[in-house]
Amino acid sequence: MLGDILINGLMAGGMFAILAVGFSLIFGVAKILNMSHTAFYMITAFLILIGVTLLGFPLLPSLAGSIAITMILGILCFKLFFDRVKEHQTAVMIISVALAMLFQEIFLLAFGGHYRGVPPFITGFAEILGTRVSYQHLFAIGASALILAGLWVLLSRTKLGIAIRAVAEDREIANLMGIDLSRIFMIVMAISVALAGLAGAVLAPIYMVSPFMWMQPLVITLAAVVLGGFGSIGGCVIASFILGYTETIVTFLVPGSTFLRGAVSLSIMVLVLLIRPEGLFGVAFEEERL
């Protein structure tokens, strides 16, 4: 039981962290509240399903291909929709909701509403703390650690990362320093969508693939981002692990309570926000005039 909770919580937390960091990144840099973020996660899972089960491609090329296609789709969405209304943040958000709905319905039309499985990348299991843990779970944990570390290096050690953070800090000044804003927005959108895609790729064999699989993670991602504080990537990661463990504990300790998982996480988020309106690690800004 304890081992189960530890491993599953770690996996759920890691995956929420990847999703939440991607969401937070594009919001922090381009001020796009992308509600279709987890829809891209669903798209990658479906593309892998198509590649591996329907077309019979080998695993690695279909993984890479799916993530690449998702990235291109993300950039297209940015160029065609978000970029054109980006002065109105509410319009951007509503468009992204519509996009998520559109993707869901397209896959529903093509594949129907039932759940499908993707074969695991690595079969077998290991014995840890007295519980059987499949290699796929371990792979997911390792992958999330690797992705988060990679992202940290990208953001803190490379020139591109510095440019991204500069734009997030102050758009006008960054622009005056010769940073091409629309190029940075596009790159960040690609990174953010790729992160969602990676999460989808790793999770597709563990959770079932269906057109509605984006709803539940979206709610948790939003909760993690708000709980951690907008604009704080580290806060996001910590909040994701808090929520991941909460979900796992609720699932394991309260029998038959799958519907309660979201409710408990969201209640935690609301309670924290009532005490600290800027989130756990967010910076309290002076009241800004929009």
Site residues for another protein per CB under 8 A: 27, 33, 81, 84-85, 88-91, 93-95, 97-99, 101-102, 104-106, 109, 215, 219, 222-223, 225-226, 230, 257, 259-260, 262-264, 266-267, 269-270, 273-274, 277, 279, 287, 289-290
Q: In the bound complex, what is the minimum distance in angstroms from residue 222's beta carbon to another protein?
A: 5
Tokens 């999770």 appear where?
203
Residue among 87 and 127 whose Cβ is closer to another protein: 87
CA atoms of 239 and 241, how far apart (whole Å):
5
Q: In the bound complex, what is the minimum distance in angstroms from residue 287's beta carbon to another protein?
A: 6
CA atoms of 57 and 63, how far apart (whole Å):
10
Q: E-assigned strands of 90-221?
A: 125-128, 131-134
Phi and psi, residue 206, nearest 5°? -85, -50
Q: In the bound complex, what is the minimum distance in angstroms from residue 161's beta carbon to another protein?
A: 24
Residue among 141 and 269 whose Cβ is closer to another protein: 269
Residue among 58 and 259 whose Cβ is closer to another protein: 259
* DSSP 8-state class, residue 209: B
CA atoms of 257 and 51, how far apart (whole Å):
34
Closest alpha carbon to 12 in 262, 273, 211: 262
Q: In the bound complex, what is the minimum distance in angstroms from residue 38's beta carbon to another protein?
A: 13
Residue among 25 and 118 whose Cβ is closer to another protein: 25
Sequence-separated (6 or more) residues with CB below 8 Å from residue 170: none
* DSSP 8-state class, residue 179: -
Q: In the bound complex, what is the minimum distance in angstroms from residue 133's beta carbon to another protein?
A: 29
Q: In the bound complex, what is the minimum distance in angstroms from residue 53's beta carbon to another protein?
A: 23
CA atoms of 261 and 202, how far apart (whole Å):
21
Residue among 31 and 132 whose Cβ is closer to another protein: 31
Residue among 80 and 145 whose Cβ is closer to another protein: 80
Residue among 102 and 126 whose Cβ is closer to another protein: 102
CA atoms of 154 and 161, how far apart (whole Å):
5
Q: In the bound complex, what is the minimum distance in angstroms from residue 109's beta carbon to another protein?
A: 6
CA atoms of 214 and 121, how far apart (whole Å):
22
Q: In the bound complex, what is the minimum distance in angstroms from residue 70's beta carbon to another protein?
A: 19
**H or E element that contains 159:** helix 159-169
Helix (H, G, I), strand (E, B) or coil at 127: strand
Sequence-separated (6 or more) residues with CB below 8 Å from residue 179: 163, 166, 167
Residue among 27 and 121 whose Cβ is closer to another protein: 27
Q: E-assigned strands of the chain?
A: 125-128, 131-134
